Structure 1
Amino acid sequence: MANLVDKAMNYVSEKVANMPKPEASVTNVDLKGLSFGSVEYLANVSVTNPYSHSIPICEISYILKSDGRDIATGKVPDPGSLKASDSTMLDVVVNVPHSVLISLARDIGRDWDIDYELQIGLVIDLPVIGNFTIPLSTKGEIKLPTMSDVFA
C-alpha cells in the first residue's frame, strides 16, 4: 500500500513540476520623476500568463542595489491580476532618497549614472499550487537627471 501511495505522490509532483508557469522579464528601467525628497524610477515588467483564466498577483517586492549596497527596498501591495492567455505590463515604482544618492557620489561622479542591480519578486496565486514567486533580476545603468531635465 505504501508503494502505491509513493507512486501516486511521485506522479502528482511530476505533473505539477511540468505544468506551464507564468514567465516574467524586466523590459525597462528609467527615470520617472523627481520630488523634493527622492528620485522615482520606473521598472516595466512584462508577465506572460499561459492559462485561460486571470491570475491574481499577491504582491511585488523589490530591492535596488548599487555598489554592493541596498539603496531602495519596498513592496507594491495588491497590484491587480494577470490577463488570461496574454501578456500584462506591470509598473514598479522605486523611490530612491536623495541622501542615498549623495552617499554614492564616487560612482555618480565618474559618469553621472548609477550602476544598479534590481531584484524583483513577483508573488502570484496559482490554483492548486498556491503562492508562487517569480524571481527577476536585471543589471544596468540609470542616468541621473540633469538641470535641463529638472527645469524642462
Structure 2
Amino acid sequence: MSQLLDKAKNYVSEKVANMPKPEASVTDVDFQRVSRDSIQYLAKVAVANPYATPLPICEIKYSLKSAGREIASGLIPDPGSLKAKDTTMVDVPVKVPHTILLSLARDIGADWDIDYQLDIVLIIDLPVFGNFSIPLSQTGEIKLPTIRDMFA
C-alpha cells in the first residue's frame, strides 16, 4: 500500500513540476512625469498567462536601487488580473523623491542619467496551488528629464 502511495505522490509532484507557469519580463522603464516632490518613472512588465482562465495579481512589490542603495520601493495591492491565454502589460509606477536624486549627484552629473537596478516581484494567485511569485530584475540607465520634458 505504501508503494502505491509513493507512486501516486511521485506522479502528482512530477505533473505539477511540469505544468506551465506564468512568465514575466520587464519590457521598458521610462520617464513619466515630474511633480513638486518627485520624479515618476513607469516600468512596463509583460506577463504571459498560459491558462484558459484569467488569474488575479495579488500584489506587486518593487525596489529601485542606484549606486548600491535603495532609492525607491513600494507595494501595489490588487493591480488587476491577467488575461486568459494572453500576454498582459502591467504598469508599475515608481516615484523617486527629488531629495534622493540630489544625493546621487555624482552619478547624475556625469551623463544626466541614473544607473539603476529594478527588482519587481509579481505575486499571482494560482487556483489550487495558492500564491505564486515571479521575481524580475533589470539593470540599465534612466535618463533624467530635461526642462523641455517637464513642460511638454
Which runs of structure 2 are paired with 1:72-87 in the superposition (5 Å)? 72-87=72-87
Partners in 2 of 1:32 and 1:63 — Cα distance? 17
- Which one-letter code corresponds to 1:141 in the other structure? E
Residues 32-68 of structure 1: per-residue CA shift (max 9 Å, x gap): 1000000000000011111111001100110101111
Read off the aligned partner of 1:63 and give its amino acid letter: S
Give 1:49's aligned amino acid. N
The aligned residue for residue 119 of structure 2 is: 119
Aligned residues: CA RMSD: 0.9
Unaligned runs of 5+ in 1: none
Q: Note the residue ranges of structure 2 that are not aligned, 5 or more in a row.
A: none
Give the alignment of 1:1-150 within 5 angstroms.
1-150=1-150
Post-superposition Cα deviations, 1:89-138, rounded to whole Å, max 9, x if no partner, equal 00000010011111111100110000001010000011121100011111
- The offset of 1:5, in angstroms, is 2.2
Give, in whole Å, the separation in 2 of the partners of 1:8 and 1:103: 58
TM-score by length of 2: 0.97
Counterpart Cα distance in 2 of 1:79 and 1:149: 28
Output the CA distance in 2 between the equivalents of 1:58 and 1:150. Answer: 34
For 2:106, the aligned partner's letter is: R
Letter in 1 for 2:56: P
Aligned to 2:50, the other structure's residue is in SS state: coil
The answer to whether the 8 Å contact 2:33/2:150 transfers is: no
Q: Counterparts of 2:63 and 2:10 in 1: how far apart (Å)? A: 36
Give the letter aligned to residue 67 of structure 2. D
Identity among equivalent positions (%) equals: 69
Q: Following TM superposition, where does structure 1 have runs of at least 4 consecutive aligned residues deviating by more than 2 angstroms?
A: 1-7
Contact 2:38–2:96 (CA under 8 A) maintained in structure 1: yes
TM superposition shift of 1:86: 0.7
Matched pairs, number: 152
Q: How many Å separate the matches in 2 of 1:14 and 1:98?
A: 50
Q: Distance in 2 between matches of 1:20 and 1:148?
A: 46
TM-score (norm 1): 0.97
Displacement after TM superposition at 1:151 (Å) = 2.6
Shift of 1:10: 1.7
* Cα distance between partner residues in 2 of 1:47 and 1:133: 12
